[in-house]
């Protein structure tokens, strides 16, 4: 079993992030560790920071897990630059942690002396040697490139740093029957409403939790998504059936600041609790696939495509910058594929 484990702060709590190549077997094993949780925000599994877990994942003593004094200063400057450019806190955390890992590797070398060859060595001797994923490598390269673009005195030639080739993974899609089972699994109207809104509007988890009552325009039958991924606003159509459900939900819960609030009024519903809502729906519906909230968004896009919606509209609805991102759904749509007759039938 190959992974990389490192200390992180998550929701002001000390945690151990565990990075590994996506594998159902590894996911099952990580889930067996008490307190293991998946962070949709950081896209990583994380576990409690305990002595037992540090030993289990062979985490280096804290003193050896730090960059040089110069490196620490540079990471702080990088964070300040990212904040000044209005990057999200989750991106700031991801990029600064990736840069920290790189500067720990070169803790004995002055930052000004680091060159392109060092990036290649880091990729080979640390990322590839530890079998870390291509997405982790990509994240690190993005952080390194962005950091060195902000530092003037350096031997790095930013344009010559190349990202790894991306794996061409297809999005996970559920059938309409499976979606119906999941959405009808809960009798709790709030739980049912949250899952239904994610699927019916193709929302990301964070987009759902950031919704406020004022973002629901019942006159125009639209939902306004403010400051979605990439600091972009967008609108998505609101199903009349969903609007009816929302009216029933509103009567019962009377949300104030956020459309979906947790136990404390005025505070958004917790993303971990939302993942538990999905987990319970899967158990109740008897679906054993490792479904995540993002599968509902993938399914929304694929079902739109299969019903004849133009790809350009789907791109707008999902908030994709590039049509290339949206085109991946053409590979999982079964509408045309099911019409192809196998030559085996003619034998």
Say whether 126 is catalytic: no
- Neighbouring C-alpha atoms within 13 Å toward the C-beta of 176: 9
Q: Looking at 204, 258, 298, 300, which residue is catalytic? A: 204
d(CA 176, CA 191) in angstroms, rounded, equals 19
d(CA 8, CA 86) in angstroms, rounded, equals 22
What DSSP character marks residue 231?
A: T
d(CA 96, CA 257) in angstroms, rounded, equals 31
Q: Looking at 191, 297, 298, 303, which residue is catalytic? A: 297
Q: Looking at 107, 229, 234, 284, which residue is catalytic? A: 229
Say whether 229 is catalytic: yes
Cβ neighbour number for residue 170 with a 10 Å cutoff: 10
Say whether 320 is catalytic: yes
Say whether 46 is catalytic: no
- Neighbouring C-alpha atoms within 13 Å toward the C-beta of 57: 24
Say whether 297 is catalytic: yes
Cβ neighbour number for residue 111 with a 10 Å cutoff: 20
Nearest to 312 by CA among 300, 295, 324: 324
Cβ neighbour number for residue 283 with a 10 Å cutoff: 11
Q: Which residues are catalytic?
A: 204, 229, 294, 297, 320, 329
């Amino acid at each position: 079993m190959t992974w990389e484990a490192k200390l992180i702060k998550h929701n002001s709590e000390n945690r151990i992030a565990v990075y590994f190549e996506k594998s159902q077997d590894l996911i099952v094993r990580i889930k067996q560790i008490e307190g293991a949780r998946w962070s949709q925000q950081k896209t990583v599994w994380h576990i409690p920071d305990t002595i037992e877990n540090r030993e289990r994942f062979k985490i280096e003593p804290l003193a050896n897990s730090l960059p040089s004094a110069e490196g620490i200063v540079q990471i702080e400057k990088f964070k300040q630059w990212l904040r000044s450019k209005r990057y999200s806190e989750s991106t700031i955390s991801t990029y600064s942690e990736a840069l920290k890992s790189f500067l720990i590797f070169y803790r004995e070398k002055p930052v000004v002396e680091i060159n392109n060859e060092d990036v290649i060595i880091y990729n080979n001797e640390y990322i590839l040697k530890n079998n870390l994923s291509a997405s982790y490598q990509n994240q690190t390269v993005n952080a390194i490139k962005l950091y060195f673009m902000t530092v003037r005195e350096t031997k790095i030639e930013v344009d010559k740093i190349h990202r790894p080739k991306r794996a061409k993974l297809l999005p996970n899609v559920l059938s309409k029957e499976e979606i119906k089972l999941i959405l009808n699994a809960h009798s709790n109207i709030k739980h049912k409403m949250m899952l239904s809104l994610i699927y019916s509007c193709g929302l990301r988890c964070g987009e759902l939790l950031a919704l406020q009552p004022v973002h629901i325009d019942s006159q125009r039958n639209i939902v306004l998504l403010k400051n979605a991924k990439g600091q972009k606003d967008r609108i998505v159509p609101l199903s009349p059936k969903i609007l009816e459900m929302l009216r029933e939900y509103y009567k019962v819960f009377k949300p104030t600041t956020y459309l979906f609030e947790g136990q404390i009024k005025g505070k958004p519903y917790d993303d971990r609790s939302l993942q538990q809502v999905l987990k319970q729906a899967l158990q109740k519906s008897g679906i054993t696939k490792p479904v995540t909230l993002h599968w509902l968004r993938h399914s929304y896009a694929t079902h739109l495509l299969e019903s004849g919606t133009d790809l350009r509209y789907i791109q707008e609805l999902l908030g994709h910058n590039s049509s290339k991102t949206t085109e991946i759904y053409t590979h999982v749509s079964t509408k045309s594929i099911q019409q192809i007759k196998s030559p085996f039938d003619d034998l």
